[in-house]
Amino acid sequence: MKEFFEQIREKVEEIKNSPGTIFGLVFPYFLIVGILIGLYFISKLEFLSRQKVPPTLRDTVVVADLQMREAKVVPPVKLSEIKNASPQLLSEGETLYKSNCASCHGETGAGGGPASAGLNPAPRNFTSLDGWKNGAKLSQIYTTLQEGIPGSSMVSYDYLLPEQKFALAHYIRTNFVPDPPEDSQSDLDALDATYNLSAGQELPAQIPVAMAKTVISQENKQYLDKVEVALNKIESSPNKNFFSRVTNNGKLALMFLVKNFNNINSEQNFKKIVLINVNQNGFNGNVFNLSEQEWSDLYKLITSVI
């Protein structure tokens, strides 16, 4: 046993003294480790290439649909009158200010309202003329209320009536702004022209495009169902051949009639409606040769099936 250890000790001594042998012993380990790293890399190649930044950045632009909006009539205002702060406008302004604006701009108009914490930029301090973006003229505050200040929490209040926006602007200018700057006549004219103030406006109702599509396809579905029923009735009626003689496309003709159902309230109207756009509406030129009796029959047939 002792000899065995002795032998090993000698061997170790020997190896220590010859660097070539050390290299010979160590080299295979490095080689194997190197090959393993290589294999690991190859096995992950697909994963690595997937992690590369794509050559073009993904399109993250979200196309916003139209907002739902009720039709609204914006009553005209007389600028020559509304440009003056009447007691009535001021009290209307006060009510509006307290319920819509004080949370950010503060009851005293100096900013720092309870909802202003952490807002950047901070809500404007109306008691100083420093740093206003649009400005403190009547027309400028009106513009701020109409458009909002992009990039800040000052949103647009365009849903308020013109009179309410003037009331707010007067309230702020009268109670908070020191020496509020006056509008020139051309400022007021420009404001009038921009927002059609003295003419008033009728804003049509608006629904999101996506919703409009659903509504239209639902309507079409109803029409199609009716056309299907009407076609079946005609197929099983003795006037089947008569109908196919005057139409190129029976389905199209029925669709046209179903859609115009409300206008087909007399034989006379029926005749007129069919004769407009013959061919496009599914009927054909034979309708021009129909006798009065045949028109009458066609009218009866159609009104009995749709």
Residues lying near ligand HEC in the complex (CB under 6 A) are found at: 100-101, 103-105, 115, 119, 121-124, 132-135, 141, 144-145, 149, 152-154, 157, 168
Residue 73 in tokens: 């009539």
Nearer to ligand HEC, 15 or 119 (CB): 119
Taking the complex as a whole, how short is the minimal distance between the CB of residue 198 and ligand HEC, in angstroms?
Answer: 22
Query: Which of 94, 158, 148, 160 shows the shortest CA–CA distance to 121?
Result: 148
Nearer to ligand HEC, 168 or 287 (CB): 168
- DSSP class of residue 247 equals B
Nearer to ligand HEC, 132 or 256 (CB): 132
Burial 158-178 (b: 16+ CB within 10 A, else e): eebebbbbbbbbbbbbebbbe
Q: Which secondary-structure segment (H or E) carries 73? A: strand 72-74
Nearer to ligand HEC, 153 or 303 (CB): 153
Nearer to ligand HEC, 171 or 283 (CB): 171
Query: Which of 104, 96, 107 shows the shortest CA–CA distance to 124?
Result: 104
Length of the chain: 306
Taking the complex as a whole, how short is the minimal distance between the CB of residue 303 and ligand HEC, in angstroms?
Answer: 58
Query: How far is it, in rounded angstroms, from Cα 75 to Cα 70?
Result: 15
Taking the complex as a whole, how short is the minimal distance between the CB of residue 132 and ligand HEC, in angstroms?
Answer: 4
Nearer to ligand HEC, 142 or 283 (CB): 142
Residue 76 in tokens: 């005209």
Taking the complex as a whole, how short is the minimal distance between the CB of residue 79 and ligand HEC, in angstroms?
Answer: 19
Taking the complex as a whole, how short is the minimal distance between the CB of residue 193 and ligand HEC, in angstroms?
Answer: 20
Query: How far is it, in rounded angstroms, from Cα 303 to Cα 306?
Result: 6
Helices (H), the chain: 2-17, 19-43, 45-50, 79-82, 87-100, 102-105, 138-147, 162-175, 185-195, 209-235, 240-246, 250-259, 267-275, 292-305
The SS3 of residue 288 is helix
Query: How far is it, in rounded angstroms, from Cα 122 to Cα 260?
Result: 58
Nearer to ligand HEC, 85 or 306 (CB): 85
Taking the complex as a whole, how short is the minimal distance between the CB of residue 180 and ligand HEC, in angstroms?
Answer: 11
Taking the complex as a whole, how short is the minimal distance between the CB of residue 228 and ligand HEC, in angstroms?
Answer: 55
Taking the complex as a whole, how short is the minimal distance between the CB of residue 192 and ligand HEC, in angstroms?
Answer: 19
First and final C-alpha spacing in the chain:
113
Nearer to ligand HEC, 132 or 299 (CB): 132
